[in-house]
Homo-oligomer: A and B are copies of this chain.
Amino acid sequence: MDDRPMYMISVAAELVGMHPQTLRIYESKGLVRPKRTAGNTRLYSERDLERLRLIQRLTTELGLNLAGVELVMKLEDQLARAHARIDRLEREKREAVEQVHKNYRRDLVPLSQVTTLIPLRRNH
């Protein structure tokens, strides 16, 4: 995702189909945090736009209010991290088993078979 600040508020609002004032409200509630220029003009990155589109889905399609949006985004973040953890654990579990196998040498023989091996070697 692209973090570079690119669009000022009118362009950003146009791109996501929202009222510029709405974007200001979202910022005042901490839902998006666009960068600012030296002259205090907001600059929205692609990541900000993506976040705005998510807010839009939650409010217009699902009917959440802004308090709900905030909590939902927090939970979705936690959920994403939990899923990442699950993927990592599954991989580590597989790798751990393989590693244990590798740590056992391939040329191991049961001690009980050693006596039967002796005759075989004497025939040489």
Q: Per-residue 0/1 for A55-73: is the Cβ within 8 Å of any B Cβ (1 yes, 0 no)? A: 0001000111101110110
Main secondary structure of the interface of A (DSSP, over half): helix
So how many copies of this chain end up in the complex?
2
Q: Does A114 contact B (CB under 8 A)?
A: yes
Question: Complex formed: what's the CA distance from A57 to B96 in Å?
Answer: 43
Q: Does A14 contact B (CB under 8 A)?
A: no
Which residues from B are CB-within-8-Å of A67? 62-65, 68
Which residues from B are CB-within-8-Å of A54? none
Q: Does A1 contact B (CB under 8 A)?
A: no
Interface residues of chain A, those whose CB is within 8 Å of chain B, are 58, 62-65, 67-69, 71-72, 75-76, 78-79, 82-83, 85-86, 89-90, 92-93, 96-97, 100-101, 104-105, 107-112, 114-115, 117-118, 121
